[in-house]
Structures are given as structure tokens and as C-alpha cells.
Amino acid sequence: MIAAVADAVTDAVPQRTLGRVQRTLTYLVILLMCLLTAVPLYVMLLVAFQPTGAVFSGGDLHIIPQTISFENFTELLTETDALTYTYNSIVVTVGVMVLATTIACISGYILTRFEFRGKTAFSRSILLSYMFSGIVLAVPFYILFQSLGLLNSHFALVLGLTALLSPLNIWLMWQYFETVPISLEERAWIEGASRWRAVRDVVLPIARPGIVTAAIFSFSAGWNNFLLAQIVLSDSEMYTLPVGAALLLGRDAGWETAMSVSVLICIPPFLIALFFQRYLMLGINIGESG
């Protein structure tokens, strides 16, 4: 029925008009999506770069800022612990990136190149464990870290985040290593390279896009995580940026301060999205094909 109507439309309307309608519709949808994403971001920037109190001064918000001020940021960096939070976030994020990516590479390589008993069960459990949300594992993590005496440490947070992230990363690296033909490694062995040397010289350079993608996923998990950080970290000295931001909001800090923390949080992901777009797309593609 629909096909028949479509045919009728195609017959009746010239191709050029049809193309034009299609294009217009596409752009409309894109525009709508951009607005949905951009408006909140714009509001965030607007509030963050206005002098304290300006937002509520007249009771209404100017769409076009009257003045631009860095007052909020100065206050944020001098009066609050935002710098400590940032430092903590960097420590945790780098830790997660290194640990999670390394584990993903090693596990992915083993899954690709070695046959072992229980391999299928293992690969299924990877997928299964990815289905659990962080909240399900939060309490077990708490108990685990408590018994290990690791509570309130960045190391525990790195371990926990790596555990949450590993299914996805291992899956990604596994799929990526599968695309590296075994014959390249075999050629390297025959040419005299040890197994490790062949991995270093041949497999890892070819898999670099996959590794970068895994690292980006790890970055995102480490930098943006709130839930696990809040559970594991009890001392405000240890807080990461998202937990710290929530703390600021919860206290008497104004919206301006909260929004300027948000801007701070947004900068690294924004830069990564800007410069590593290609790898993000790759992650999506691999995810689809895998």
C-alpha cells in the first residue's frame, strides 16, 4: 500500500522536486537535533560567562550576553577545591586509560590468536557482563574494596572503572585484532621475529586505530564517571570533578559556579571529539560489525 503510494508519488512528482523535498527534510531533522544538543550547552556557557548574580538580576535570562566575565572561573579556582578535583580526575582517567586499554589489548589478542577450553563461554560472559549497569555492581564493589582496604583510593576507582569498561574494550580489541591477518605475524616469525616482537612491530601498529578507540572509551568512562566515584571515594580531598561538581551544587554555590565547573568538565571531551572523530566512528563501526 505504502509502496504503491510511493510509486504513485514518484510517478507524479518530478525527480528534482522529490530530491529537494528529501534534502529539506534531512536538513530540518539535523537542525532539530543540533538545537536539542546545542541549546543546553549554550545555556551552560551563557550562565558560566556571566557575572555572579547577573542571571537572576532581572529575573530573566538574556539570550545574547550583555557582558562576558571570567569572574566565576576565578572564584571556582580560588575559592573552591576545583583544581584538586581536576587533578584527581586526571589521575583516575589516565589510570583507567592505561589499565583498561592494556587489559583490552592483551585479552583481545589472546581471544584472537589462541584456542583454549571455555573460549566461547568466556566470550559470551564478556557480552553478558556488559549488560549490567554500574549501579548493580556498586554495592559489591564497595564490599570488595572495603575488604581489600582500598576504599577511598583512586586505585580502587581505577580498578572498578576498568572492570566496568573491560567487556566493551575487550570486545572492541578482539574484533579489531581479528582484522589483522595471521599471515602477517607468521611472516614476521619466519623473518626471525619473536612472538612479542611481531606483536610490537606488526600487530599493534596495525591495530592502532582500535587502541586509540579503546583509549577514548576509557577516557570517557574515567572522566565522566560519577556513580562509582561517589561510592568509592569518601574524602572530599579525593573527589573527581563530577563528584566535586555535585558537591558544589549541593552546597551554597550559585548556578554560575556550577555551570563553570560544567564548562571545565566539558573541555577535554570536546577536544577529543574534535580531534579524534575518526576513531569514534570506527568504534561505532566495529561495534556494529561485531
Partner 1 sequence: MAKEIRTERLRKEYDADDRTVVANDDIDLTIEEGEFTTIVGPSGCGKTTLLRMIAGLQEPTSGRLYCGDEDVTDERPQDRDISMVFQNIALYPHMTVRENIGYALKIEGVPDEERAERVEEAAEILQIADQLEKKPDALSGGQQQRVALGAAFVKEPEIILFDEPMSDLDAKLRAELRVEVQQLHKRLDATIVYVTHDQTEAMTMSDTVVTLREGHVEQVAPPTELFDFPNSTYVAEFIGTPATNFLPVDLQLTDGTPTLRGFGMEIEVPSEELDPHVGETVDLGVRPQYLSAGGGSFELDVTIDVIEPLGTESVVHATRPDGEPIDFVTDDIAEIFPGDTVTVGFDEEDLIVFGPNGEAVVYGARLFDSAGATQQIN
- Note the residues at the interface with partner 1 (CB under 8 A): 181, 183-184, 186-194, 197, 201-202, 205-206
Q: Can you tell me the distance from the alpha carbon of 283 to that of 213, in angstroms, rounded to the nearest whole number?
A: 6
What is the chain's alpha carbon radius of gyration, rounded to the nearest angstrom? Answer: 25
Which is closer to partner 1, CB of 79 or CB of 191?
191
Closest of 215, 267, 259 to residue 86, by C-alpha = 267
CA-nearest of 206, 199, 200, 205 to 113 is 199
Shortest distance in whole angstroms from residue 256 CB to partner 1: 49
- Nearest approach, Cβ of 112 to partner 1 (angstroms)? 17
CA dist., res. 213 & res. 97, Å (int): 11
Give the integer Cα–Cα distance in Å for 24 and 32.
12
CA 206 to chain centre: 23
Task: Report the residue number, 62 or 197, with the smaller CB distance to partner 1.
Answer: 197
Nearer to partner 1, 209 or 254 (CB): 209
* 285 within 8 A of 166, measured Cβ to Cβ: no
Is there a contact between 104 and 173 (Cβ–Cβ < 8 Å)? yes
Q: Which residue has the cell 589521575?
A: 91
CB of 194 to partner 1, least distance (A): 7
Q: Of 183 and 289, which has the nearer Cβ to partner 1?
A: 183
Residue 188 beta carbon to partner 1: minimum distance, rounded to whole angstroms: 7
Would you say how long the chain is, in residues?
290
Q: How far is the CB of 179 from partner 1 (least distance, A)?
A: 11
Question: What is the Cα–Cα distance from 56 to 74, expressed in whole angstroms?
Answer: 20
Question: Minimal distance in Å, beta carbon 192 to partner 1?
Answer: 4
Question: CB-wise, 181 or 290, nearer to partner 1?
Answer: 181
